[in-house]
Structures are given as structure tokens and as C-alpha cells.
A and B are shown apart, each in its own frame.
Chain A
Amino acid sequence: MIRNRNLPFAATVLVFAGIYLLCVLQFPTMLSFRVAGNLLTDNAFLGVAAVGMTFVILSGGIDLSIGAVIAFTSVFVAVLVRAGVHPAVAFALALTLSTAFGAVMGMTIHYLAMPAFVVTLAGMFLARGAAFLITTDSVPISHEFLDMLKSLYIQLPGKGRLTFIGMVMLATFVIGMVLAHRTRFGANVYALGGSQQSSELMGVPAAATTVRLYALSGFLAGLAGLVYTLYTSAGYSLATVGVELDAIAAVVVGGTLLSGGSGLVLGTLFGVFIQGLIQTYIVFDGSLSSWWTKIAIGILLFVFIVLQRATLLLPRRSGKAVAFTPIPRGG
């Protein structure tokens, strides 16, 4: 049973290893700490946001507001810092705002019984609109505190660097794994995703879990915004459009079922890595256009979803196959 549950995750790791092997065979230099370090740095904001998305999807929901919240946080922080506020204060304010924003969306979803899809869609418009309202210009920022954060890196062999934002991403994944697999909250999230009705009957606090869940997603989207601000040293309200789709893709490719209730936080890390690897490959190749990234991710999504479908169906075939068996006359 456990093997079955972890099958999608095993497939993800296998695909990652396979793609990396192909890359290394063609470009031996890709097997270096430098590339590995860049993979972490370049995808740090996506990774942080994807952890939040993993929780939301595990609960059977979806959060479309992530990209807009990242953009809002980065603009918000950039404008505050430009106005003379200390970055640490701006960071704290931004995280508080984004967490509250997520919590409000969670409350709306639970108490008004509205689909998460539409609520977070409205949230996406709201956050993006708020970012536009602050400024539509790209706001470059520089501050010794930010420089200090950027100088915090661990030197890896071969000129590779594990940057501060890379470490933030890895730490987020570790904390996310503990939260998902070792706490009551995590168990509740899985239970909600399995079946909201049964979990409520078993005493899972659906309201508190849903609100905390979206607050967590908002917090992590805010954190991703801070990481993005550090990464680009600027705030821009038109940035990170569509990151929510990348995050969803990373979660799905990472082996989490979109219907909720099954998946691993660690899988999402590999989902992010696979996307990053495809991008790195395209950069190394030089002749391929960047739009191949989208097509490749689309194909991967398709393959993974069909694989998941197959692994879900296989164990049921032997027993009750009612739910998915075509009804002869109705087919």
C-alpha cells in the first residue's frame, strides 16, 4: 500500500534523474555545483510558493492568487524601502499583509462555501490591481541590509554558490515537510483533501484548517515575493504573471494528486527542479527557443497526470472498479 502511494513520487525522482542524465550526456559541464547552485537560486521563489500550493492542493483546493501576491509583495517592499523604511520592517509588514490576505480568502472559501477557484481568482485580480495601484514602474532598490543578505552564501566546490535565497527555499521545504507529515495540522490537511465530509464527521476542524491553509499559502507567496525581490533587486507590478501555473505544474509533476489527499511535499521540490532543469537545458543548448519550455512542461504534465491516473486505477481494478468503469449503454 505504501509503495503504491509513493509510486508517483518515485516516478518524479526517476524522471528528474533521467532528464539530468540526458543533459549531462550532452553537456558534461551541467554536472557541476555551479549549475546545481544556480538551479536552486533561479527557482527559489517558485519553490517557496510551490510549497504553499502543495498544501492547498493536498487539501483539494487551489490558489490562483500566488503570482499576483508575489508581485504585490515585491512592489510593496520596494516602494517602502525606497521611502526609507528599513527592509526588515518592510519584510515583516509584507508577510503580515500576505498572510492576512490568504486567511481572508480561506474564510471566504469556507464560510461562504464558494469554490476556491473563483475566490482565489478574485484574490488574484485584487492583489494584482493593488500592485498596479502602488506603482506601475519597476522600482529598483538597494540597501545595505539587502546586500548583507545577498552576501550570505555558502561557497560550493567549483565556483558554485548556495545563495541565501536558495537556503530559504530548502528551509521552506524542510519546514513544509515537517508541517505536512509530522503535525496535526498536516494530518488535517490530508484528511480534508481525502474527503471533506468524512473528515468533518471524524472531528477534523474544517474551518480552522481551511483558514490556516490559505493563510499559509498567502504567507509563503509573500515569502516568495521577498525572495523574488532579493533575486531581482527590484519590485515590478507586472512581474511573475502566471507563476501560479508553474507552481501547480510543479506540484502535479511532483506526484501530488490534484483531487487532494495524496502527495509529498518533497515531490514538489523535484517538480520545481525538473522545470528548472528544462530551462537550464534550453539555455545550454542555445539554439532552442524559450517557448519549448512551455511545451515540454505541458507534455510532462500530460505524462504525469496519465501516469497518476494509471496508478490510481490499477489497484482498484482488482477490487471495486465501479467508479471509473464505463457503463456500457452510457459510454
Chain B
Amino acid sequence: MRKLKRLAPQIVALVLVLFAVTLAVPGFLSISVQNGRLYGSLVDICVRAAPVALLAIGMTLVIATRGIDLSVGAVMAITGAIAATLVADNQPLVVVLLVSLGIGLACGLWNGALVALLDLQPIIATLILMVAGRGIAQLVTGGTILTFNDPAFSFIGSGALFGVPMPVLIWLVAGLVVGLVVRRSALGLLIEAVGVNRRASSLVGVRSRFLIVAAYAISGLCAALAGMIVTADIHGADANNAGLWLELDAILAVVIGGTSLSGGRFSITASLIGALIIQSLNTGILMSGWPPEFNLIVKAAAIVVILTLQSPTVATALSGLRATFGSASRSNSHEPTGKAGARAK
């Protein structure tokens, strides 16, 4: 019950977005089974949201430690390029998967080492790989868009298991595994402790360095998974455009999910719903026939509204208002107030 309360603003926002799109596009919500797999706009949203959802899982942990990982888009490009090279080289699928995940892990460890061991600011530490990463990916592909034809690897991007598309399955399983590991053990709490006050948590014996490195490593692994999905989906590696600006979408998903950029309390489920909200906006704008140029404007407006409601100043002001007017304001409170109220608690 408490958990549901925490997720309420995100769920309400998602429902509102879906409702708005349904008004513009009748039949938007219909789901059917064709050729033994699910079809429909909602399924499409879940599939298209896969890269951002995966990135958001790792990003949530990183942001919870009061960090940020700007390099995930570039890591996607690198792992995509490496996976495509290996597949084009006819390597077995296991080798492709393991090497790509290994590279993603290595990228994450590099970021983690810079942040935790060299005490660099996370924005800057991960900026290095963000700038250099695309160059490295270009180096791997030789500057061309590397294409391949391999049904086994493509299955990751376009296959389906028990009627559920593989990308959806991957981000669901990844979210479940990471979520269970951090929430069914004390790890999540310790990560939050590091994010709130790293020095204090170190003093009470929390292994803050290890936890920070681990958060970035998981972020790297998630980016590797996302990179492989994108590569498998388009049957090729595009070092220039794979994962371009997805780090921003992932950060946005986490922020919409109510995890503060200044670290501390986090919720992976809320971040995943955040990713779905972003993708619903994208798909909705596309399907309702608005020019795609509006996409960025709508996204910017959504961020501004959501963040304004979450900002400490507004939250304090609103809770002050509520204290003043008591139950009177609660009975006629409209949706935004309710959202901010839930955050303020």
C-alpha cells in the first residue's frame, strides 16, 4: 500500500498520457494476438521503450548514489559496434553476448573508478567516455554502418518468447533482477545512504567506494544490453546515431520517476514507469498525427511541469497551503496539487 502511494504520481501521469492519446487515436489501447505474439500500440510502446527502460535501471542506481552517467549512449554505441563486428565475423552467439556485456561492464568500471577512486565529479568523469565513446565506436566499425544478417542475434531485437517481444522481456527481467537484489537485501538502503551523505556512510562502515563502482558497473551492463537490442533491431551498428541522446531520456525517466538528482531515495519501478511515460509521449505524438517537430516541445513542457511540481520550493509552498486550508483544499484539489502533495509527504 505504501509502495503504491509512492508510485501514484507516476502511474497517474502515465494513465493521463495514455488517456489523452486514446482521445486522439481511437483503438489505441487495443491489443491482439497475431501469429502467436502480442500486437498493438501498447505493446509497441513497451518494445520501443526498451533501451531507455534498461538505461533507466542503471541510471536510477547511479543517481541514487548522487552521481550521473552521461556515457550510457556512447557505451550503447560501443557495445553495438562490437556486437555487430563479432556477429558479422560469424562468432557464436554466446561469445557475442559475453564480450559485449564484458565491454559494457568495463566501461561502467572505468566510470566507477574515476568517480569513486579519483573522486572526480560524476558529470565530468562520465563526460570523458561520452565524448570519446562515439569515436571509439567509429574506430570499431571503421566509420561505416556495419550490417549483418544473423537470425539468432536479431532474435534479441525482434523475436518473441511466449508471445512477449524479447526487448520487453529483457527489460522486465533486468528490472526485476536488479530490483530484487537491491530491495530484498540491504544494498538498496546502503546505496541510498551513500547518496545522502557519502562521508557519513563511510564513517559508519558502509563500503561507499564499492557501492559506487557497482552502481556504475550495473549502468554499463544495462547500456550494453540496450546497445545490443538496438543493434539487433536494425540489423546493424550505427556508431553515430545508436543511443544518441538516450542518456538524457534515461535521466529524464529517472527524474520523472521521482528519484532526486541529489541522491538518496530511489525507485526502479517508478523510473521504468517514467521510461514508459516518455515513450508514450513519443508514440502518442507520432500516432495522433501531430508533426514530429512538436515532440521536443511537448517533452520539454512535460519536464518543466513535472519538475516544477517536484521542486522543493513548490512542494513546501503547497504543503504550506494545504496546512492553511486544511481539508477544504483537499476536497477540491485538482490533479497537479495531488501529485505534488504526494511527493511532499
Q: A291, B134: Cβ atoms under 8 Å?
A: yes
Q: Which of A117, A122, A292, A329 contacts B123 (CB 8 A)?
A: A117
How distant is the Cα of A291 from the Cα of B121 in the complex, in angstroms?
Answer: 26
Distance (Å) between the CB of B187 and the closest chain A CB? 16
Contacts of A248 in B (CB 8 A): 127
Q: B123, A118: Cβ atoms under 8 Å?
A: no
Distance (Å) between the CB of A185 and the closest chain B CB? 25
Q: A62, B123: Cβ atoms under 8 Å?
A: yes
Which among B50-58, B178-186, B302-310 touches the partner chain? Answer: B302-310
B4 at the interface (CB under 8 A from A): no
Contacts of A258 in B (CB 8 A): 121, 123-124
Distance (Å) between the CB of B197 and the closest chain A CB? 12
Distance (Å) between the CB of A256 and the closest chain B CB? 11
Which among A81-89, A171-179, A201-209, A299-307 touches the partner chain? Answer: A299-307
B138 at the interface (CB under 8 A from A): yes
B135 at the interface (CB under 8 A from A): yes
Contacts of B139 in A (CB 8 A): 291, 295
A294 at the interface (CB under 8 A from B): yes
Q: A129, B297: Cβ atoms under 8 Å?
A: yes
Q: Which of A117, A124, A129, A302 contacts B68 (CB 8 A)?
A: A117
Q: B121, A132: Cβ atoms under 8 Å?
A: no
Which among A7-15, A90-98, A108-116, A138-146 touches the partner chain? Answer: A108-116
Which among B90-98, B153-161, B165-173, B247-255 touches the partner chain? Answer: B247-255
Contacts A122-B303, A295-B136, A330-B202: A129 and B120 contacting too (C-beta < 8 A)? Answer: no
Q: Which of B68, B132, B209, B298 contacts A298 (CB 8 A)?
A: B132
Distance (Å) between the CB of A245 and the closest chain B CB? 6
How distant is the Cα of A4 from the Cα of B100 in the complex, in angstroms?
Answer: 43
Distance (Å) between the CB of A313 and the closest chain B CB? 9
- CB-CB nearest in chain A for B293: A132
**A-B pairs with CB below 8 Å: how many?**
129
B29 at the interface (CB under 8 A from A): no
How distant is the Cα of A163 from the Cα of B193 in the complex, in angstroms?
Answer: 55
B342 at the interface (CB under 8 A from A): no
Contacts of A187 in B (CB 8 A): none
A136 at the interface (CB under 8 A from B): yes
Q: B128, A291: Cβ atoms under 8 Å?
A: no
Contacts A121-B251, A330-B207: A113 and B313 contacting too (C-beta < 8 A)? Answer: yes
Q: A293, B135: Cβ atoms under 8 Å?
A: yes
* B274-322 contacts to A (CB < 8 Å): 293-301, 303-304, 307-308, 311-314
User: How many positions in chain A have a CB within 8 Å of any CB in the partner chain?
Assistant: 49
* Contact mask for chain B residues 254-284; partner A; CB cutoff 8 A; 1 contact, 0 none: 0100000110000000000000000000000
Distance (Å) between the CB of B254 and the closest chain A CB? 10
Q: B297, A301: Cβ atoms under 8 Å?
A: no
Distance (Å) between the CB of B47 and the closest chain A CB? 23
B82 at the interface (CB under 8 A from A): no
Distance (Å) between the CB of B235 and the closest chain A CB? 23
Distance (Å) between the CB of B343 and the closest chain A CB? 13
How distant is the Cα of A324 from the Cα of B198 in the complex, in angstroms?
Answer: 11
Contacts A62-B123, A132-B293, A291-B138: A330 and B206 contacting too (C-beta < 8 A)? Answer: yes
B129 at the interface (CB under 8 A from A): yes
Q: B119, A309: Cβ atoms under 8 Å?
A: yes
Q: B129, A298: Cβ atoms under 8 Å?
A: yes
Distance (Å) between the CB of A136 and the closest chain B CB? 6
- CB-CB nearest in chain B for A301: B128
Q: B293, A129: Cβ atoms under 8 Å?
A: yes
How distant is the Cα of A327 from the Cα of B207 in the complex, in angstroms?
Answer: 10
Q: Which of B131, B203, B205 contacts A301 (CB 8 A)?
A: B131
Among A119, A126, A133, A298, the most chain B Cβ lie within 10 Å of the Cβ of: A298
Contacts of A19 in B (CB 8 A): none
How distant is the Cα of A330 from the Cα of B135 in the complex, in angstroms?
Answer: 36
B208 at the interface (CB under 8 A from A): yes
How distant is the Cα of A128 from the Cα of B129 in the complex, in angstroms?
Answer: 24
Q: List 17 A-B contacts (CB under 8 A).
A: A112-B314, A114-B308, A126-B301, A129-B294, A129-B299, A133-B297, A245-B131, A252-B124, A258-B123, A258-B124, A291-B135, A295-B136, A298-B129, A299-B132, A301-B131, A309-B118, A326-B209
Where the two chains meet, the residues of B that have a C-beta atom closer than 8 Å to any C-beta of A are 68, 118-121, 123-125, 127-136, 138-139, 143, 199, 201-203, 205-209, 239, 248, 251-252, 255, 261-262, 293-301, 303-304, 307-308, 311-314
